[in-house]
């Protein structure tokens, strides 16, 4: 090709691309290369999603930084785009954002979980770099919900930022940052179904424009099902709403969890010459829902028990700044477990997750974060109303969304905080007023969805009448954890059903905390054992299954999540997850799979976390096995233990383990699984096939200590030959609470080892043979100033002066190790203390630990003995 022709062709292409690009809508995610600073002085380069609370929300010091953070970024906007409209869209910033472009204030947004956008066109310099600056504030703000809640309010720009370039005629971005169109359905049934689209079309030019809207509905194979074109006049500088119905589809494919059939709705906005200005897509899922106070939930006219989970959005090590790909894995995990519903708690989550719920067939409850209490101010009301508008409009088009909610346990602070009677009355009426406004707004904006709210166990919701507002009433019930006993769930629900026969109810939260490092033969309330977690969930599912009037249940929570003030077995983390904070499933996840997922035979042996199981002499250990089959066969080391029947997806097998590796095999249906379990089988404490021995003093459970890669055995009263205490009693253990001290212990990650302890223990015996040993004793002062956890209704409210609570001397076999140990005054508060010393034990004497009280009662949390010689 001659050089000049080639040059011309290149120039033509450059010109063509420039011209044509100026005609199309474009959307660029600008997540990379932002500058971040906490003080306007030191800046670091970061990528979004980002939060500044990754470390301080998990360290040993109470609180985390709630204040301002500053972000800035330069973006180049080409001169070719000067006829376009430029929008900056923030998908979520927690919790208040103030945005500047080239130094000019563009706008402010309150609320950390919904998207917002600003038209920045007038402030842009085309053909140049433009400076975007965002001041983010996550300080407590009386006018922005949530005011208080059991999760960490990480500050930062934690979802994508988009730069959107639009032709002057476009789908509006000014309607609460929605897509500018809303998909509705008409006459949906087995025989036929119709789609109606309301589009908001903006014309920002100063001349009238003629546009056309081409709409097509494609089936799952991409084949055209229906289409329609409409022409509209858009007056200069106007925003217009047009409703268009596509013709009815006969014999439609319906959407359901078993068959989440989706059609693709395509909208093409064209100019007068037929050039496409903007293209939009939406899922279309034909389905209808209803609730019946006696018969539960119905999808497409058929009853369906909703069983699934709540989900929080944060992830271990990432806070709320979680890449979307990682978040999507949660939805796959939930589907794979057999869950058919997700409550996105307590705020709207990333929109792509709702899209995935459409695709995988999971029904959704979505809500805004008005949690625990409200503020009686017009500003607070305005923010709440605005937030619910954003929420509904931004999440409207997902067919998976069947319930829109707006409040969670809204009276809980009022029940626990100190108020005068007058204040209480006023707060009740303010709360009710706001609830009424939000209920009406939700019904008006989302007429084809169910409204919903979640309450905690208190009569106040009935008495105020707030519980009668939503179409579905969620109860968050923690029988067998914070309240009463596991079995009390059913009778509570029966009583409510009888008293309020017109209400449709859903068990919106339930579940105990569970730590995979804690396992036991004797699960107890509030001990954080995975065994208690199993016991509670199994019974709850049974109790709900038995009650047709219950629409369903959503476990609290899918995953462990960050809650800074908590002192669970892992401090700062709420451990009620079915999977861990990093999403490694706990055993209970697989139990749910065995009861919910009937697609193919499934078997599971719950031994994944039985690390370092130590058994004495003839002791056996009960192993849980799960399956969706009625019967199965278990083998240990090739020996058939006989046929087992699965009830409610599970069976317990007493396994006679041998020392060393054991092979457990489970067969059911045509499925089988083999697991290797390593067990220390001890005849005596002879240190022959082990070199360390640890005792979880004061605790009834095994504790697998990851710091030392060792499992501490449960404590006991002295048994000969063996180990145990001769005096004292487990500290802080009651019928209702078996955690010892429910607080963060500083300077350790082995909190459960410290949290349980013996008090008043003068003598402790361990029958070890002669030799040289290192003995490590673990202590913590239990009288700590608790951080208030209003959810933990069993926590003792003991706030005490701790100095000189207890002073004691430590002896090993009569030899003084340390005198006048005073945990309260020698160490910082809540400090995990190790005292280590070596001892030579002469023939047959064994080890005797003596804590001689000088003042008060001595305490002891753990013993670790290492053989040296
Ligand atoms: C609740 C709350 C939830 C808490 C949960 C708990 O009822 O709605 O936000 O995290 O209890 O674990 O205590």
* Gyration radius from the chain CA atoms: 31
At 271, is the pLDDT very low, low, confident or very high (cuts 50, 70, 90)? very high
CA of residue 408 to ligand 1 center, whole Å: 9
CB 615 within 8 A of CB 621: yes
* pLDDT of 83 over the 50 cut: yes
- Distance of alpha carbon 765 from alpha carbon 154, whole angstroms: 48
Listed range (5-9, 268-272, 429-433, 606-610) with the worst mean pLDDT: 5-9
At 78, is the pLDDT very low, low, confident or very high (cuts 50, 70, 90)? very high
| DSSP three-state, residue 249 | strand
Q: What is the pLDDT of residue 783?
A: 87
Average confidence score pLDDT of the chain: 94
Which pair of tokens denotes residue 693?
Answer: 């021995």
Q: Which of 755, 773, 750 is nearest to 848 (CA)?
A: 773
* pLDDT of 75 over the 90 cut: yes
CA of residue 794 to ligand 1 center, whole Å: 14
| DSSP three-state, residue 528 | coil
Helix (H) or strand (E) holding 624: strand 621-627
pLDDT digits 0-9 by tens, 209-239? 999 999 999 999 999 999 999 999 999 999 9
Return all residues near 43 (Cβ < 8 A) that are at least 6 apart: 35, 36, 37, 72
Point out the ligand 1 atom lying closest to the alpha carbon of residue 408.
8
% of residues, the chain, pLDDT over 90: 90
Which pair of tokens denotes residue 444?
Answer: 């008006």
CA of residue 734 to ligand 1 center, whole Å: 22
CA of residue 150 to ligand 1 center, whole Å: 6
- Distance of alpha carbon 373 from alpha carbon 147, whole angstroms: 7
Mean pLDDT of 801-830: 88
Report which of residues 830 and 280 the model is more confident about: 280
Helical pair 488-499 and 530-545, crossing angle rounded to 10 deg: 30
Which pair of tokens denotes residue 10?
Answer: 């290149």
At 6, is the pLDDT very low, low, confident or very high (cuts 50, 70, 90)? low
- Distance of alpha carbon 162 from alpha carbon 590, whole angstroms: 39
Mean pLDDT of 772-781: 97
User: How crowded is residue 511: how many other Cβ atoms within 10 Å of its Cβ?
Assistant: 26
Listed range (113-122, 496-505, 627-636, 839-848) with the worst mean pLDDT: 839-848
As a 3-state breakdown, the chain gives helix, strand, coil percent values, each rounded to 5, of: 20, 40, 45
- Distance of alpha carbon 868 from alpha carbon 691, whole angstroms: 8
CB 193 within 8 A of CB 174: no
Mean pLDDT of 384-402: 98
User: For residue 661, what are the CA distances in angstroms to 135, 634, 676, 681?
Assistant: 58, 16, 6, 10
CA of residue 360 to ligand 1 center, whole Å: 27
Report which of residues 356 and 612 the model is more confident about: 356
CB 472 within 8 A of CB 551: yes
Q: What is the pLDDT of residue 232?
A: 96
Bridge partners, 35 (sequence order): 45, 72
Q: What is the pLDDT of residue 796?
A: 42
CA of residue 479 to ligand 1 center, whole Å: 13
At 788, is the pLDDT very low, low, confident or very high (cuts 50, 70, 90)? low
CA of residue 413 to ligand 1 center, whole Å: 12
Point out the ligand 1 atom lying closest to the alpha carbon of residue 482.
13
- Distance of alpha carbon 751 from alpha carbon 743, whole angstroms: 8
Report which of residues 382 and 417 the model is more confident about: 382
Q: What is the pLDDT of residue 805?
A: 76
Cα three-residue angle 845-846-851, rounded to 5 degrees? 110
pLDDT digits 0-9 by tens, 452-464? 999 999 999 999 9
CA of residue 344 to ligand 1 center, whole Å: 13
* pLDDT of 792 over the 90 cut: no
Point out the ligand 1 atom lying closest to the alpha carbon of residue 345.
9
**Ligand 1: which of 556, 564, 568 to mutate, judged by most atoms within 8 Å of the beta carbon?**
556
**Residue 312 backbone dihedrals phi, psi, to 5 degrees:** -100, 160
Q: Is the pTM of this model over 0.75?
A: yes
**Residue 107 backbone dihedrals phi, psi, to 5 degrees:** 170, 175
CB 632 within 8 A of CB 603: yes
Q: What is the pLDDT of residue 12?
A: 45
Nearest residue (by CA) to ligand 1, atom 11, is 791
Listed range (254-263, 281-290, 837-846) with the worst mean pLDDT: 837-846
At 843, is the pLDDT very low, low, confident or very high (cuts 50, 70, 90)? confident
CA of residue 152 to ligand 1 center, whole Å: 12
Q: What number of CA atoms fall less than 13 Å from residue 286's CA on the CB side?
A: 22
Q: What is the pLDDT of residue 250?
A: 98
Nearest residue (by CA) to ligand 1, atom 10, is 150
Q: What is the distance in angstroms between the CA of the first residue and the CA of the last residue of the chain?
A: 88
pLDDT digits 0-9 by tens, 603-632? 999 999 998 999 998 999 999 999 999 999
CB 600 within 8 A of CB 627: no
Q: What is the pLDDT of residue 844?
A: 82
**Ligand 1: which of 413, 452, 476 to mutate, judged by most atoms within 8 Å of the beta carbon?**
476
| DSSP three-state, residue 435 | helix
CB 331 within 8 A of CB 364: no
* pLDDT of 602 over the 80 cut: yes
- Distance of alpha carbon 162 from alpha carbon 182, whole angstroms: 21
Point out the ligand 1 atom lying closest to the alpha carbon of residue 792.
13
CA of residue 529 to ligand 1 center, whole Å: 18
Listed range (200-209, 525-534, 630-639, 839-848) with the worst mean pLDDT: 839-848
Buried b (16+ CB within 10 A) or exposed e, 362-384: bbbbbbbbbbbbbbeeeebbebb
Mean pLDDT of 114-128: 97
* pLDDT of 1 over the 50 cut: no
CA of residue 558 to ligand 1 center, whole Å: 13
Q: What is the pLDDT of residue 690?
A: 87
Q: What is the pLDDT of residue 787?
A: 57
Point out the ligand 1 atom lying closest to the alpha carbon of residue 791.
13
Mean pLDDT of 536-547: 98
At 803, is the pLDDT very low, low, confident or very high (cuts 50, 70, 90)? low
Name every protein residue with a CB atom under 6 angstroms from any ligand 1 atom: 149-150, 408-409, 456, 476, 509, 556, 574, 576, 791
Point out the ligand 1 atom lying closest to the alpha carbon of residue 346.
9
Mean pLDDT of 466-474: 98
CA of residue 554 to ligand 1 center, whole Å: 12
**Ligand 1: which of 409, 477, 483, 567 to mutate, judged by most atoms within 8 Å of the beta carbon?**
409
**Domains defined for the chain, CATH in brackets:** 3-167 (2.60.120.260), 181-284 (2.60.40.10), 289-597 (3.20.20.80), 613-682 (2.60.40.10), 692-867 (2.60.120.430)
Alpha helices in 656-750 (DSSP H): none
Point out the ligand 1 atom lying closest to the alpha carbon of residue 456.
7
Mean pLDDT of 549-566: 98
**Ligand 1: which of 146, 149, 150 to mutate, judged by most atoms within 8 Å of the beta carbon?**
150
pLDDT digits 0-9 by tens, 654-706? 999 999 999 999 999 999 999 999 999 998 999 988 899 999 999 999 999 98
Bridge partners, 676 (sequence order): 663
CA of residue 149 to ligand 1 center, whole Å: 8
Point out the ligand 1 atom lying closest to the alpha carbon of residue 454.
8
Nearest residue (by CA) to ligand 1, atom 3, is 150
Q: What is the pLDDT of residue 617?
A: 87
CA of residue 791 to ligand 1 center, whole Å: 7
Nearest residue (by CA) to ligand 1, atom 4, is 150
Query: What's 131-153 look like in SS3?
Result: EEEEEEECCCCCCCCCCCCCCCC
At 379, is the pLDDT very low, low, confident or very high (cuts 50, 70, 90)? very high
What letter would DSSP give residue 319?
B
* DSSP per-residue codes, 568-602: SSSTTEE---SB-TT-PBPHHHHHHHHHH--SS--
Bridge partners, 620 (sequence order): none
CA of residue 506 to ligand 1 center, whole Å: 15
Point out the ligand 1 atom lying closest to the alpha carbon of residue 409.
8
Buried b (16+ CB within 10 A) or exposed e, 745-776: bbebebbbbbbbbbbbbbebbbbbbeeebebb
Mean pLDDT of 837-865: 95
CB 441 within 8 A of CB 461: no
pLDDT digits 0-9 by tens, 138-197? 999 999 999 999 999 999 999 999 999 999 999 999 999 999 999 999 999 999 999 999
Which pair of tokens denotes residue 578?
Answer: 């079915």
Q: What is the pLDDT of residue 790?
A: 58
What letter would DSSP give residue 247?
P
What letter would DSSP give residue 254?
B
Sequence length of the chain is: 869
Point out the ligand 1 atom lying closest to the alpha carbon of residue 574.
12
Q: What number of CA atoms fall less than 13 Å from residue 481's CA on the CB side?
A: 26
């Amino acid at each position: 090709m001659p050089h000049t022709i080639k040059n011309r062709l290149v120039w033509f292409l450059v010109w063509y691309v420039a011209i044509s690009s100026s005609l199309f809508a474009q959307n660029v995610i600008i997540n990379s290369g932002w500058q971040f600073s906490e003080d306007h002085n030191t800046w670091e380069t970061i990528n979004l999603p980002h939060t500044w609370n990754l470390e301080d929300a998990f360290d040993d010091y109470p609180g985390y930084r709630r204040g301002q953070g500053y972000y800035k970024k330069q973006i180049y906007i080409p001169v070719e785009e000067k006829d376009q409209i430029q929008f900056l869209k923030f998908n979520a910033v927690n919790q208040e954002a103030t945005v500047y472009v080239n130094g000019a204030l563009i706008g402010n947004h309150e609320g950390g979980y919904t998207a917002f956008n600003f038209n920045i066109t007038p402030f842009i310099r085309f053909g140049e770099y433009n400076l975007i600056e965002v001041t983010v504030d996550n300080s407590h703000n009386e006018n922005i919900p949530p005011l208080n809640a059991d999760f960490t309010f990480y500050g930062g720009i934690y979802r994508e930022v988009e730069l959107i370039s639009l032709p002057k005629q476009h789908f509006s971005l000014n309607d609460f940052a929605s897509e500018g169109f809303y998909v509705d359905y008409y006459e949906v049934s087995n025989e036929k179904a119709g789609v109606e689209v309301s589009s908001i079309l903006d014309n920002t030019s100063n001349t009238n424009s003629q546009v056309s809207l081409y709409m097509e509905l494609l089936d799952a194979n991409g084949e055209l099902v229906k289409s329609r074109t409409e022409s509209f006049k858009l007056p200069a500088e106007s925003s217009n709403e047009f409703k268009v119905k596509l013709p009815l589809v006969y014999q439609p494919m319906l959407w359901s969890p078993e068959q989440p059939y989706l059609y693709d709705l395509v909208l093409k906005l064209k100019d007068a010459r037929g050039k496409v200005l903007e293209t939009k897509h939406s899922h279309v899922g034909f389905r209808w829902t209803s609730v019946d106070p006696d018969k539960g939930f119905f999808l497409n006219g058929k009853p369906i028990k909703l069983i699934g989970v709540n989900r929080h959005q944060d992830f271990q090590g990432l806070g709320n700044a979680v890449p979307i790909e990682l978040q999507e894995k949660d939805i796959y995990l939930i589907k794979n477990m057999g869950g058919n519903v997700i409550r996105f708690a307590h705020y709207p989550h990333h929109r792509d997750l709702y899209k995935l719920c459409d695709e995988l067939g999971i029904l959704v409850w979505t809500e805004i974060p008005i949690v625990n209490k409200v503020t009686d101010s017009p500003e607070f009301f305005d923010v709440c109303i605005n937030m619910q508008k954003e929420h509904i409009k931004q999440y409207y088009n997902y067919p998976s969304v069947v319930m829109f909610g707006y409040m969670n346990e809204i009276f809980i602070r009022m029940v626990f905080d100190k108020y005068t009677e007058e204040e209480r009355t006023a707060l009740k009426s303010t709360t009710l007023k706001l609830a009424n406004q939000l209920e009406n707004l939700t019904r008006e904006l989302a007429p084809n969805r169910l409204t919903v709210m979640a309450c905690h166990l208190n009569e106040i919701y009935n008495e105020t009448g707030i519980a009668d507002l939503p179409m579905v009433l969620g109860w968050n019930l923690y029988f067998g954890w914070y309240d009463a006993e596991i079995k009390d769930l059913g009778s509570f629900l029966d009583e409510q059903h009888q008293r309020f026969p017109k209400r449709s109810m859903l068990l919106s939260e339930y579940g105990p905390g569970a730590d995979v490092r804690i396992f036991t033969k004797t699960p107890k309330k509030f001990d954080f054992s995975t065994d208690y977690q199993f016991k509670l969930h199994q019974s709850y599912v049974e109790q709900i299954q038995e009650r047709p009037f219950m629409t369903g249940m959503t476990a609290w929570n899918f995953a462990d999540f960050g809650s800074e003030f908590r002192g669970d077995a892992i401090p700062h983390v709420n451990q009620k997850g079915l999977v861990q904070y990093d999403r490694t499933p706990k055993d209970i996840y697989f139990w749910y799979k065995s009861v919910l997922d009937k697609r193919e035979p499934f078997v599971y042996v719950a031994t994944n976390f039985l690390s370092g199981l130590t058994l004495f002499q003839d002791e056996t250990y009960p192993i849980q096995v799960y399956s969706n089959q009625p019967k199965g066969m278990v083998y240990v080391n090739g020996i058939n233990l006989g046929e087992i029947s699965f009830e409610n997806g599970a069976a317990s097998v007493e396994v006679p383990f041998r020392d060393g590796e054991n092979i457990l095999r489970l067969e059911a249906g045509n499925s089988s699984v083999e697991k290797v379990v390593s067990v220390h089988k001890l005849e005596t404490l002879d240190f022959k096939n082990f070199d360390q021995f640890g005792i979880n003093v004061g605790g009834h459970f095994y504790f697998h200590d990851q710091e030392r890669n060792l499992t501490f055995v449960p404590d006991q009263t002295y048994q000969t030959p063996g180990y145990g205490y001769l005096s004292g009693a487990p500290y802080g253990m009651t019928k209702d609470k078996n955690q010892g001290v429910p607080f963060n212990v500083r300077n350790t990650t082995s909190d459960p080892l410290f949290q349980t302890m013996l008090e008043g223990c003068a003598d402790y015996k361990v029958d070890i043979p002669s030799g040289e040993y290192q003995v490590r004793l673990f202590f913590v002062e239990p009288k700590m100033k608790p951080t208030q956890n209003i959810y933990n209704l069993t926590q003792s409210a003991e706030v005490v002066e701790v100095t000189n609570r207890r002073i004691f001397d430590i002896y090993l076999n009569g030899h003084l190790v340390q005198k006048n140990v005073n945990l309260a005054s020698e160490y910082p508060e809540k400090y995990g203390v190790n005292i280590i010393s070596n001892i030579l034990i002469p023939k047959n004497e064994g080890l005797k630990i003596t804590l001689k009280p000088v003042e008060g009662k001595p305490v002891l949390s753990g013993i670790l003995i290492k053989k040296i010689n």
